[in-house]
């Protein structure tokens, strides 16, 4: 038997419906914020990620899926979304448009060769957004508040934002020198990776998960102590806008993020979920004002956010969030003979084209077996197509919730279903069970059956 590769997963059934629902929520929120969907290739030339993401990041040094194509070109499966979006922005000369800033969002699979664990697969799905063309602190605040709002809309509670500033180039260089001075005498106490980082990118040491509890990490210099006046003022503005938007935040100097391209604002979003793990981070991002120029474009500022879709779905499950996904169909058509089967083929097509979720039997099963299939599919209505009824241009419709049956003219069937079908499968009340027909609220329930 051929099995799926290590670090990948199949998504199907009710889980797939939950993924579709969350994706739809993200799409709808992004539309409200006037972000445009963008899709970039699943593989790019390796240089894009080496120059864009950074030579010293773990993604590039340890985790990328690299290969040489038949033309002898070095290619890489995309490990993250920002570099590809920036490449597209430059290549398609979007910087020449008057519609600035350019606001994009994506939701697509990424590939990283790392040790598989819950929420961290080798084929992962990542969603995120980029604001390209604005250096205004308001755009920083928008990128952060957008993440918070999506998580809240989906039903996660205890959302917390940790923010920090790396400052401009001058501030970052001053901080870099301070880190080298601090860690160099203690180089033997650092893990092997951090020893290499000390010279190449010492900011990455602060992000180390191996040495995090060591005393030298606790006494390390803080980024905000090395910000110049301009960077300090900019960071204050970001905080002011977050307060205006009602976004709660904590200034956390340990937030530096794991990619080389960040400057000024960096942030992480946490969810306070019991049992979620030692680190509750479910997304993060920051400003990358120099990246576009590094990749051959003009000097254009930008900020972005990214989050793992897989990790978000785990968080929703652990928080026991009831997503309003449809796990039912509107109508199941049953038949006995070949003529009735042909009419089932005709009627199912007509009803589907009018917006109904319709199913019928494809295995020539007995009527009893068809009823069982209708129950398994949670069909709200069933119609047993009877030749005599069809001659009279009518069908008997059974409501599987109330168990009531009614003879309906075929000419009025669409109107009847429209009037009697309940659109929502899930009640929004905190005390309800997932199915609105089993609602157990005491009072003031918004369910349609109350």
- Do the domain assignments include residue 96? yes
Contacts with 223 (C-beta within 8 Å, 6 or more apart), sequence order: 164, 165, 166, 167, 171, 175, 253, 256
Of 213, 232, 356, whose CA–CA distance to 278 is shortest?
Answer: 213
- Boundary-marking domain end, from 283, 318, 353: 318
Residues 272 and 342 in one domain: no
Tally the residues of the chain. Answer: 450
Burial of 270 from C-beta contacts in 10 A (0-12 / 13-18 / 19+):
buried
Q: Give the Cα separation of 41 and 165 in Å (integer).
A: 32
155-190 residues labelled b (16+ CB within 10 A) or e (exposed): bbeebbbbbbbbbbeebbebbbebbeebbeebeeeb
- Do the domain assignments include residue 92? yes
Residues 260 and 408 in one domain: no
Residue 128 backbone phi and psi in degrees, to 5? -175, 180
Residues 340 and 276 in one domain: no
Residues 267 and 360 in one domain: no
Residues 358 and 289 in one domain: no
3-class secondary structure, 397: strand
Residues 252 and 338 in one domain: no
- Do the domain assignments include residue 202? no
- Do the domain assignments include residue 134? yes
pLDDT of residue 430: 47
- Do the domain assignments include residue 145? yes
Residues 284 and 401 in one domain: no
The two tokens of residue 223 are 């980024």
CATH number at residue 299: 3.30.930.10
How crowded is the C-beta side of 108, counted as CA atoms within 13 Å? 19
Residues 292 and 346 in one domain: no
pLDDT tens for residues 63-118?
A: 889 999 999 999 999 999 999 999 999 999 999 887 889 999 999 999 999 887 77
pTM of the model as a whole: 0.85
- Do the domain assignments include residue 400? yes
- Do the domain assignments include residue 181? no
Structural domains counted in the chain = 2
pLDDT band at 206 (very low <50, low <70, confident <90, very high): confident
Query: Are 139 and 236 in contact, with CB atoms under 8 Å apart?
Result: no
pLDDT tens for residues 34-55?
A: 999 999 999 999 999 887 676 6
Residue 7 backbone phi and psi in degrees, to 5? 85, 15
- Boundary-marking domain end, from 299, 318, 337: 318
pLDDT tens for residues 168-196?
A: 988 888 888 888 888 878 777 778 777 77
Of 164, 168, 250, 144, whose CA–CA distance to 206 is shortest?
Answer: 164
- Relative orientation angle of helices 413-420 and 338-353, to the nearest 10 degrees: 60
pLDDT tens for residues 338-389?
A: 999 999 999 999 999 999 999 999 999 999 999 999 999 999 999 999 999 9
The two tokens of residue 262 are 């960040």
pLDDT of residue 436: 35
CATH number at residue 413: 3.40.50.800
Residue range(s) defining the domain that contains residue 82: 13-168+228-318
Residues 294 and 374 in one domain: no
The two tokens of residue 153 are 């809309």
Helix (H), strand (E), coil (C) string for 88-157: HHHHCCHHHCCCCCEEEEEEEEEECCCCCECCECCEEEEEEEEEECCCCHHHHHHHHHHHHHHHHHHCCC
Residues 408 and 313 in one domain: no
Query: Are 309 and 25 in contact, with CB atoms under 8 Å apart?
Result: no
- Do the domain assignments include residue 443? no
Q: Give the Cα separation of 388 and 405 in Å (integer).
A: 17
Over the chain, what is the mean pLDDT? 87
Q: Please say whether the dihedral angle defined by the alpha carbons of residues 189, 276, 18 and 154, taken in this order, is positive or negative.
A: negative
Instruction: Tell how strand 329-334 and strand 379-384 pair up.
Output: parallel
Residue 269 CB coordination number (10 Å): 24
3-class secondary structure, 384: strand
The partner residues of 379 in beta bridges, in order of sequence, read 329
Residues 145 and 273 in one domain: yes
Residues 118 and 239 in one domain: yes
pLDDT of residue 52: 67
User: CA of 326: how far to CAs of 89, 239, 294, 343, in Å?
Assistant: 38, 40, 46, 27
Arithmetic mean of pLDDT, 258-282: 80
- Boundary-marking domain end, from 268, 297, 318: 318
User: CA of 92: how far to CAs of 34, 80, 96, 292, 384, in Å?
Assistant: 20, 20, 9, 13, 57
């Amino acid at each position: 038997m051929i099995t799926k590769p290590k670090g990948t997963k199949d998504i199907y059934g009710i889980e797939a419906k939950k993924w579709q629902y969350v994706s739809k929520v993200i799409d709808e929120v992004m539309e409200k914020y006037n972000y445009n969907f963008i899709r970039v290739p699943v593989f790019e030339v390796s240089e894009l990620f080496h120059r864009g993401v950074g030579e010293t990041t773990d993604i590039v040094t340890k985790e990328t899926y690299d290969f040489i194509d038949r033309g002898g070109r070095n290619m890489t499966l995309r490990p993250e979304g920002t570099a590809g979006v920036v490449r597209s922005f430059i290549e398609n000369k979007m910087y020449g448009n008057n519609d600035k800033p350019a606001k994009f969002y994506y939701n697509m699979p990424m590939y990283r060769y790392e040790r598989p664990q819950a929420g961290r697969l080798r084929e992962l799905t990542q969603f995120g957004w980029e604001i390209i063309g604005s250096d205004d602190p308001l755009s920083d605040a928008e990128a952060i508040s957008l993440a918070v709002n999506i998580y809240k809309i989906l039903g996660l509670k205890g959302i917390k934002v940790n923010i920090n500033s790396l400052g401009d180039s001058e501030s970052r260089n001053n901080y870099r020198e301070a880190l080298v001075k601090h860690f160099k005498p203690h180089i033997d106490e650092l893990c092997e990776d951090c020893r290499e980082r000390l010279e190449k990118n010492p900011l990455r040491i602060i992000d180390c998960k191996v040495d995090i509890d060591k005393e030298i990490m606790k006494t390390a210099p803080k980024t905000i102590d090395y910000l110049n006046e301009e960077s300090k003022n900019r960071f204050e503005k970001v905080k002011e806008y977050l307060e205006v938007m009602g976004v709660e935040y904590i200034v956390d100097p340990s937030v530096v993020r794991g990619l080389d391209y960040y400057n000024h604002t960096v942030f992480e979003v946490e969810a306070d979920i019991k049992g979620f793990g030692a680190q509750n981070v479910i997304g993060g991002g920051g400003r990358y004002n120099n990246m576009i120029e590094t990749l051959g474009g003009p000097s254009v500022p930008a900020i972005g956010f990214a989050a793992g879709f897989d990790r978000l779905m785990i968080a929703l499950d652990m928080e026991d969030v009831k997503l309003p996904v449809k796990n039912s169909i509107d109508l199941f058509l049953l038949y006995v003979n070949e003529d009735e089967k042909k009419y089932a083929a005709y009627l199912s097509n007509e009803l589907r084209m009018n917006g109904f979720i319709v199913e019928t039997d494809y295995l020539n099963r007995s009527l009893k077996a068809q009823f069982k299939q209708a129950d398994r599919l949670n069909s709200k209505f069933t119609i047993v197509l009877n030749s005599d009824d069809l001659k009279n241009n009518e069908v008997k419709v059974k409501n599987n919730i109330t168990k009531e049956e009614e003879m309906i003219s075929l000419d009025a069937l669409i109107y009847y279903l429209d009037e009697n079908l309940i659109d929502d499968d899930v009640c929004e009340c905190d005390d309800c069970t997932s199915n609105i027909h089993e609602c157990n609220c005491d009072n003031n329930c918004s369910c349609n059956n109350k």
